[in-house]
Amino acid sequence: MNIRRVVLTGFMGSGKSTVGPLLADALGWNFVDVDQEIESRSGASASFLFQTLGEAAFRGYEFSVMSMCLDTTETVIALGGAAVDLDIARRLLSVCNDCWIVFLDGPFDVLIARCLSQEGSGDATYRPLLRDREAALAHYAIRREWNREIAQQIIDVSRSAGEAIAASIVNRLLP
Ligand code: S3P
């Protein structure tokens, strides 16, 4: 197995940005968070871009940043929760032979509760979906199917802490 990058995917609140740096440290690799990369490349906040460009253009931009991240090696990449909404993004991920795609899965209520507590502590990315619980549930269900299709490893994040999740990914990667 010649894996050159790990891609973390999952619904908002699944811990991609928490597990990512822990995993990168354990592997001695770099960590890239696509949401943060969008902000540092554009010089604007995701919320500003989303509101100014509109959702479709924002998703297109997010896809181009994700593609650039996939050009790197020895990198752990945390996708935004909505990355898999685009058919082209799912296809790109599914043909990435040297990517190890990990779906951080968990019950809807647990993930939403985590997002709300992150919002309360001011420690959160811009999450428009959080305002509409019914839409969030519909997105959760369809993204769960898509994430299950593209992932090589699926982890229930409600059962383990970030360190244990990172360790279980390392265990699958190292011989
Ligand atoms: C989104 C999740 C966010 C962010 C954007 C949209 C979503 O990423 O990309 O606000 O629709 O689920 P996280 O999964 O990192 O929260």
E strands, the chain, in order: 5-9, 30-33, 75-78, 99-105, 153-156
Q: Is the minimum distance from the CB of 127 to ligand 1 under 6 angstroms?
A: yes
* pLDDT tens, residue by residue, 154-168: 999 999 999 999 999
> Both ends of the chain: CA-CA distance in Å?
9
Q: What is the mean pLDDT of residues 128-146?
A: 93
What pLDDT does residue 77 have? Answer: 98
Q: What is the DSSP letter of 158?
A: T
Atom of ligand 1 nearest to the CA of 78: 15
What pLDDT does residue 15 have? Answer: 96
Atom of ligand 1 nearest to the CA of 47: 10
Residue 172 · residue 100 · CB < 8 Å: yes
The answer, yes or no, to whether residue 124 has pLDDT greater than 80, is: no
pLDDT confidence bin for 113, thresholds 50/70/90:
very high
Q: Is the minimum distance from the CB of 165 to ligand 1 under 6 angstroms?
A: no
What pLDDT does residue 119 have? Answer: 83
Nearest to 84 by CA among 162, 8, 168, 30: 8
Q: What is the mean pLDDT of residues 59-77?
A: 95
The answer, yes or no, to whether residue 51 has pLDDT greater than 80, is: yes
